[in-house]
Chain A
Amino acid sequence: MEHKNDFLNIVKIEYLTPENAKFSETANGFPRLEAFIPKVKKDDLEENSGDDTPVWQDLGRVFFHRAFPYDSAENFISVTDKEGNEYGLIRSLSEFDGAGREIIERELKRKYYTPVITKIKSVKERFGYSYWEVETESGSASFAMHDTFRNTAKISEERVVLTDVDGNRYEIKDVFALDRKSYRKIELYL
């Protein structure tokens, strides 16, 4: 049965596109945004003028946040101020190119930095903690996990994210693509 999607018109998502958003860098290399959007209130006490006509304005430093960090990492990226208030969404990274895109991608890479495990050398269980020795795409690493089963998040059938005692995340893109020995070591927690 065909679903009616007429609710989509009820609210409008504010999208940032190359036409209304220019990303550049601050003096120290942080992402900065100039956008053609309705005037942003500088602080909450300012009277809401009710004027929604867009103007070009320098919003200064901005932050990025993925709406679907696993399912759709390149799409629906929220652009916010430092308090987390949203200026707008980027529908797809591919709409941008050149320097702007580079800036966004670099910042996202920093924020979502997660070592990808390619090989599990050893897992030792001791008194409720497990000690892991692994190879990641950026060198070998060792970490400890508490309550291993609960801290092993199954994103999908094959994708797994481990969270260690400090809160660091490690990702396995495809557990079935691991070598047999590595797979056996993690199999128990799946």
Chain B
Amino acid sequence: MIALKKFSPSVVAFFGEKGIAADECLMSCESDLGTDGVSKNVYAVITKEKIAVAEGFIGFEGKAKASARTEIFTCTAYREFLLEKCEDVRVELFISGGRAVCEYEGETAEIARFTFSCRHDVNILCDIANQLKKDGKIDEEKLKHENEDEHFCPKCHRRYPDQDRKICPKCMEKAKLVKRLLKMFVRYKYYIMLILLTFALVAGLRVITPYVSNKMFISDVLTPGGSMYGEIGKILLMIVGVRLISLLISIVNGIISAKVAADVVYDLKKTIFNTIGGLSMRFFSNRQTGGLMTQINSDATEIYWFFCDGFPYLLTNMVQLLVVLAVMLTMDPLLTLFTFITIPVFFFTFKITFTLFEKLHARAYSKRRAYNSLISDVLNGMRVVKSFSREEEEMGRFQKRSKAQADAQEKIGVTASKTFRTIGFIMKLGSFVVWGVGGWQIIQHTGGMDYGRLATFVAYVAMIYDPLDFFADISNWWSECLNALQRLFEINDSIPEIKEAENPVDADVKGDVEFDDVVFSYEENRTVIDHVSFKVPAGSTLGIVGHTGAGKSTLANLLTRLYDPNEGSIKIDGVNLKDYSFDTLRRSVAIVSQETYLFRGTIMENIRYARPDATNEEIINAAKIASAHEFIIKYPDAYETVIGFGGKELSGGEKQRVSIARAVLKNPAILILDEATAAMDTQTERSIQEALEKLTKDRTTIIIAHRLSTLREADKLIVLDKGKMPEEGTAQELLKKKGKYYELYKMQLEALKTIGIEE
């Protein structure tokens, strides 16, 4: 039994009344929307014979105490579908949800409605119903991980926002995060001990300073009868000495902590970049890669600053606060108490100010973001802006956002000057209390107070207030840092969807390719490849034709194992693609795709990328095959022309030829040309094709193309249409069949006729 949702007793009882016992159910799931469009509890079960759906509400009866209440399920609608009469159980999507439907007795019937929160579960319902119809049983093994327990946070029973990663942001343990970070620090434990030691020293010295410069100076040196009366030179030496030592220690401390923190951040970045390299394509297509990089960098910096700046400051301040308190209490407990009167007021004012500022900053940030995105948008699209003469409107938009940004910034400035002055005043109030009480004590000669002591005390009061503003802020800083840390570990923990087999096969492949009943979708409910099977014997050439979006490039993605198929298998030389080592795969399959990407660097480096040990002669050969030599040699720096930023920009066709040369150099057993010649003019394509024909001879080649003329030499063609494969055969066979291929052929022929070319 697959329980996507374990039903509560009242629901089980309800189905029991309808004659469906709990042990008959093969699967159970829940949806959240009634067929009337109202939010409801919808329960669905599948038995061997039927699908049953009950809609209604869960209510409670009885005492207010939760334990004594009885749950009641009020059914508003109930329907059953006999499996033998159901055909094609499927999901139809709306904008923010959808419905499961089937063909029932020749008419489309609605099984259940859902919002996207239940989309996955309803999909499985459809899958299982279809499986049951087809095979008479469910593949429980495959669906085991779909059970309810796997999808919910065990602590708060919320669904994990990202099903691939079982992390509940609500219950994520901070302690664990910090522990992991600390582990990275372990390597530096001696440094860290040194840092802590210097911290303690700095804090201690800072506390001594007012004692020497106030208490000793006034009470012992300036007061007649003091233990060091008149020895001003000596006391000055002492004051300067204390300052000097503390300065030295601070410098040492700063150097060490900067080093350790920087190294840890470097470690962190290194592990993350290592993981990124191993991640599957899906990870990158789900996120914006550029944003990802900035995120990593800024997050790592955030952590760096916290540990280099915030954390040391926190430690020193804590030590300082404790020592100062201890000293103050021993000097004068009563006066210390008076100092504390203003502390809560002070602390809370700070707390409030910081939340206020956080909001202001967040707003300024979002305004700045809007402003920046507009600028980059307009600059990138300048050609369009100018050609439609929309400069004025864009200026207007720019001014509006710029103004909004300036306003937000101004607000921060104004609020800052208002609040910080006030806070400064409150701080002063605290010391006024000490001045007052201490002064009164001196005049009354109570509590053994004198000028030196009072001055020392006032200095200490300031030292208490000093860390407080920092404490008010550090909690925010800390949560920011944890946030950044979490994001970094999140990337670090991403499990690649495409994993290498445990005992991967390493082999020199011949190049027999077989697709066996392959089904694939990038996203649930949008099948891109729908039960496609074909074979390409080693050494032969297969052409794939079809309209844009028919799934041609997806076949290439599957064969290079950027993605794994949802159903069916892909085999090379009779061995499943999943069993090969990555190394074998990358070595044996090369792809030249429609989106060519050249790295920044010279043309030579770009071609050599396929095989770093290739000789210059091999590079020229490869370039010749790809018809790239001719244009490369015309550049002043020939093969060492720098491409990209600040260098030479290649045209689309030139880029394609360089990337073909790259693939040629790799000399793979299986070559995929995915619209590789699409951006070239017909003449270049012709000349390249002659070379390619030599190349593809005795090599398994898969050519994906729009232009049927590109596929003249293919041994076999398959036609893709909306993910399905309606036809296969040689060009001649397909023409005779007068099907899809014939249609495409006729269309292109007509297009050629209109410009006076006949093939």
A 53-88 binary contact with B (CB < 8 Å = 1; else 0): 000000001000000010000000000001100000
List 6 additional A-B contacts (Cβ < 8 Å) besides A28-B109, A164-B116. A26-B107, A45-B740, A114-B96, A127-B487, A129-B161, A168-B117
Q: Which residues of A contact B739 (CB under 8 A)?
A: 45
Nearest residue, chain A, Cβ from B363 = A188
Decide if B748 is an interface residue (CB 8 Å cutoff): no
What separation, in Å, do the CA atoms of A169 and B116 have in the docked complex?
A: 9
**Residues of chain B whose beta carbon lies under 8 Å from any beta carbon of chain A:** 33, 37-39, 92, 94-97, 104, 107-110, 113, 115-117, 119, 158, 161-162, 169-170, 172, 359, 362-363, 366, 369, 482-483, 486-487, 490, 721-722, 739-740, 743
Q: Which of A7-66 contact B (CB under 8 A)?
A: 26-30, 44-45, 61
Give the residue of A44, A131, A167, A189 whose beta carbon is less than 8 angstroms from that of B116: A167
Q: Which residues of A contact B487 (CB under 8 A)?
A: 127-128
Decide if A3 is an interface residue (CB 8 Å cutoff): no
Given contacts A113-B96, A113-B97, contact A127 B169 (CB under 8 A): yes
Is A44's CB under 8 angstroms from B740's CB? yes
Chain B residues touching A, majority SS:
mixed
Q: Which residues of A contact B109 (CB under 8 A)?
A: 28
- CB-defined A-B contacts under 8 Å, sample of 23: A26-B107, A28-B107, A30-B110, A44-B743, A109-B37, A110-B94, A111-B94, A126-B169, A127-B169, A127-B172, A127-B483, A127-B486, A127-B487, A128-B483, A129-B169, A131-B170, A138-B38, A144-B158, A146-B161, A146-B162, A168-B97, A168-B115, A168-B117
Nearest residue, chain B, Cβ from A126 = B169
Nearest residue, chain A, Cβ from B105 = A27
**Residues of chain A whose beta carbon lies under 8 Å from any beta carbon of chain B:** 26-30, 44-45, 61, 69, 82-83, 109-114, 126-129, 131, 138-139, 141, 144, 146, 149, 164-169, 187-190
Q: Which residues of A contact B369 (CB under 8 A)?
A: 149
Give the residue of A28, A45, A112 whose beta carbon is less than 8 angstroms from that of B95: A112
Q: Which residues of B contact A190 (CB under 8 A)?
A: 366
Q: Which residues of A contact B38 (CB under 8 A)?
A: 138
Is A166's CB under 8 angstroms from B116's CB? yes
Listed from nearest, the 9 A-B pairs whose CB atoms lie closest are A167-B116, A166-B116, A127-B169, A165-B161, A169-B96, A129-B169, A111-B94, A166-B117, A168-B116
Is A128's CB under 8 angstroms from B169's CB? yes
Nearest residue, chain A, Cβ from B90 = A82
Given contacts A109-B37, A128-B169, contact A30 B108 (CB under 8 A): yes
Is A111's CB under 8 angstroms from B95's CB? yes
Is B95's CB under 8 angstroms from A128's CB? no
Count: A-B pairs, CB below 8 Å: 92
What separation, in Å, do the CA atoms of A68 and B162 have in the docked complex?
A: 31
Is A112's CB under 8 angstroms from B94's CB? yes
Is B486's CB under 8 angstroms from A168's CB? no
Q: Which residues of B contact A82 (CB under 8 A)?
A: 92
A129 to chain B, nearest CB (A): 4
Is A188's CB under 8 angstroms from B359's CB? yes
Q: Which residues of A contact B721 (CB under 8 A)?
A: 44
What separation, in Å, do the CA atoms of A79 and B69 have in the docked complex?
A: 50
A17 to chain B, nearest CB (A): 26
B298 to chain A, nearest CB (A): 13
Is B96's CB under 8 angstroms from A128's CB? no
Is A110's CB under 8 angstroms from B161's CB? no
Identify which of A44, A111, A141 gathers the most chain B CB atoms within 10 Å of its CB. A111
A104 to chain B, nearest CB (A): 15
B117 to chain A, nearest CB (A): 4
A93 to chain B, nearest CB (A): 17
A144 to chain B, nearest CB (A): 6
Is B119's CB under 8 angstroms from A166's CB? yes
Q: Which residues of A contact B108 (CB under 8 A)?
A: 26, 28, 30, 61
Q: Which residues of A contact B33 (CB under 8 A)?
A: 113
What separation, in Å, do the CA atoms of A128 and B39 have in the docked complex?
A: 28
Q: Which residues of A contact B363 (CB under 8 A)?
A: 187-188
Is B486's CB under 8 angstroms from A113's CB? no
Nearest residue, chain B, Cβ from A154 = B370
What separation, in Å, do the CA atoms of A187 and B365 have in the docked complex?
A: 12
What separation, in Å, do the CA atoms of A188 and B363 have in the docked complex?
A: 6
What separation, in Å, do the CA atoms of A113 and B490 have in the docked complex?
A: 34
A113 to chain B, nearest CB (A): 6
Given contacts A146-B161, A149-B366, A188-B359, contact A113 B169 (CB under 8 A): no
Nearest residue, chain B, Cβ from A60 = B108
Nearest residue, chain B, Cβ from A61 = B108
